[in-house]
Amino acid sequence: MVYLIISGSYFYKSLADWRIMLIFVASTYYKMKKILVILLLCLLTIGVQAQLKPRVVILTDIGQPDLEPDDTESLVHLLCYADLLEIEGIITSTGWNCDPYPTQSAAYRDSVVEAYRVDVHNLMKRSGQKTFLSTDQENGCQEMGYWPSAEYIRSRSVMGSQRAGIKVIGKDNDNEGSELIIRLADENDERPIWVCAWGGANTLAQAIWKVKQTRTPEQLKAFLHKLRLYTITDQDMVYAMRMNLAYSSHQWMRREFANDLLFVWDEGTWQLQCSLGQEYWQQIKSEIQGHAALGKQYPDYKYGVEGDTPSFLNVIPNGLHNPEEPMQVGWGGYHTWALTKDSTTYAWTSWQEPVKSISETYYRQFYRDHLNDFIARIEWAETGQGNHNPAVIVNGENGTDAIVIMGKAGQTVTLDASASSDPDGDVLSFRWWQQNGIGQTKAEISHATSSSVKVEIPATFMNDEIHIICEVHDQSKYALPAYRRIIIKATGRF
Ligand SMILES: [Ca+2]
Ligand SMILES: [Ca+2]
């Protein structure tokens, strides 16, 4: 019971409140009816599943700041979100900047993790967390809002493939990183594992190769169905060889496992992320660099700023999209299933028009939001206090999952977010818009900046979906964002 009360502090507040209240009632009742209490607690455990974080594995070619500073920047950024992403592995490996990966370069990762060790005590105040779970519990499923210990992150910091290209894949290329990926996918855990490739994804290809050699085709499929890959360009080779896409194990993965491995090949957002960072560099320099131990690790950029960041922004559960659906635009861009740059394989990608422009337009639109969000977290790291994001409640539904509504041609749908709240009691502003590039029907939204809107479904609406985003900002420091996606599906489609 004590454990339940403590862990309740990591939950979303509303969940924590009623659960703690029930536990309080249960403890009073305990003195009278011991068996009833045990039954009640069993029901609570079964009936209330706290929201778990999405699982991520990072493959990084982090290196010395005069060679690859942007991976260090992205790692600082990532660790500021360790409460929203279950960091299952930070695996060092080859990328554009090196082949082989120098073993000693992993020290650049370790020094950012060391900075996290210093700052986590302040970051924990953001979710009212007082202590860390035991090692066993941290290795299990982590609830949303839980900041893991630096020891946990360190235990997940391993070496992956130190050579690049499809030719090295084979039994001599098994490594700690590929074994970790296999172990994670074998865990009894329904959640997918998002592999974010900041360098090459050779380590993932090696894991898949080994499973293919040692298991049945059905077992291989089950393994692949656990994995998602979001790769920042194709870096399974050194930069000078980047046009030789057949050299890479990425092409092998796309060709062999197109139907079973969700593969996002980002060519539409990382360059923009790099250049927007340069545009906003003065702000990044004054509000991130040098602030808290993590900010002190944030180096000057060389080519662009945080080029690898879209890969994990894509997984942060902020209500904007479901990463399982790459056409739902999110902080990591917008991707459609298409022939890739190698002209032979397919993936979810954004290199071609008009997809590239749609993705870039949204990336530009969201950039201020995710930069502000990051800066607010650096402030927590530095001072142990700051602003919290609002919570968007649409038509009475809390949480971050999309709300699905069935709608008819000619119908008017009311969407009401007036019950939305802010943990700091801040005043909220609203903006409603329809996502471009998904569905054909254009709907009219009346009073798009009020808390409640009417969506007019046109008479032509049939076999289609309308995706409406409710975007909320608090009127407080950094104007922190929150979103909610509402999908209106045509009645009779299913
Ligand atoms: Ca990189
Ligand atoms: Ca707030």
Q: How far apart are CA 444 and CA 98, in angstroms?
A: 51
What percent helix, strand, coil does the chain show, rounded to 5? 40, 20, 40
**Do 232 and 102 share a structural domain?**
yes
Element housing 86 (H / E): strand 86-92
**Do 463 and 343 share a structural domain?**
no
**Do 65 and 27 share a structural domain?**
no
**Do 97 and 35 share a structural domain?**
no
CATH number, position 421: 2.60.40.10
Q: What spacing in Å lies between the alpha carbon of 108 and ligand 2's midpoint?
A: 34
Does position 280 have pLDDT exceeding 70, yes or no?
Answer: yes
Residue 49 confidence (pLDDT): 58
Indicate the pairing of strand 444-446 with strand 452-456. Answer: antiparallel
Does position 307 have pLDDT exceeding 80, yes or no?
Answer: yes
Q: How many domains does the chain have?
A: 3
Q: What spacing in Å lies between the alpha carbon of 127 and ligand 2's midpoint?
A: 13
- Structure confidence at residue 492 as a pLDDT band (50, 70, 90): low
Q: What angle do CA 81, 87, 89 make, to 5 degrees?
A: 140
Ion ligand 2: protein residues whose beta carbon lies under 5 Å:
387-388, 422, 424, 426, 474, 476
Asked if 470 and 430 count as a contact pair (C-beta separation under 8 A), the reply is yes
In three-state secondary structure terms, 412 is strand
Domain that holds residue 469: 390-493
Q: What spacing in Å lies between the alpha carbon of 478 and ligand 2's midpoint?
A: 9
Q: What spacing in Å lies between the alpha carbon of 314 and ligand 2's midpoint?
A: 22
Indicate the pairing of strand 86-92 with strand 403-407. Answer: unpaired
Does position 133 have pLDDT exceeding 70, yes or no?
Answer: yes
Could you tell me which of 222, 233, 231 has the C-alpha nearest to residue 203? 231
**Do 296 and 397 share a structural domain?**
no
Q: Out of 382, 405, 427, pick the residue that ends a domain.
A: 382
In three-state secondary structure terms, 331 is coil
The torsion angle over the Cα atoms of residues 173, 177, 182 and 185, rounded to 10 degrees, is: -150
Q: Out of 335, 354, 382, pick the residue that ends a domain.
A: 382
Point out the ligand nearest to the CA of residue 386: 2
**Do 321 and 352 share a structural domain?**
yes
**Do 81 and 12 share a structural domain?**
no
- For 322, counting Cβ atoms within 10 Å of its Cβ (0-12 exposed, 13-18 middle, 19+ buried), the class is middle
What is the 8-class DSSP label of residue 397?
Answer: B
**Do 173 and 315 share a structural domain?**
yes
- 336-339 β-sheet, strand order: 157-159, 86-92, 55-60, 193-197, 227-232, 262-266, 346-349, 336-339
**Do 163 and 296 share a structural domain?**
yes
Indicate the pairing of strand 465-474 with strand 481-490. Answer: antiparallel
For 36-74, the pLDDT digits (tens) are 443 343 333 333 457 999 999 999 999 998 888 999 999
Q: What spacing in Å lies between the alpha carbon of 309 and ligand 1's midpoint?
A: 9
Point out the ligand nearest to the CA of residue 481: 2
- Averaged pLDDT for residues 215-239: 98
Ramachandran quadrant class, 425 (left: phi over 0; alpha: psi -120 to 50; beta: rest): left
CATH number, position 97: 3.90.245.10
Does position 30 have pLDDT exceeding 70, yes or no?
Answer: no
Does position 24 have pLDDT exceeding 70, yes or no?
Answer: no
**Do 207 and 125 share a structural domain?**
yes
Q: Percent of the chain scored above 90 by pLDDT?
A: 88
Does position 17 have pLDDT exceeding 70, yes or no?
Answer: no
Q: What spacing in Å lies between the alpha carbon of 159 and ligand 1's midpoint?
A: 15
**Do 321 and 395 share a structural domain?**
no
Residue 257 confidence (pLDDT): 98
Q: How many residues does the chain have?
A: 494
Point out the ligand nearest to the CA of residue 95: 1
Q: What spacing in Å lies between the alpha carbon of 379 and ligand 2's midpoint?
A: 13
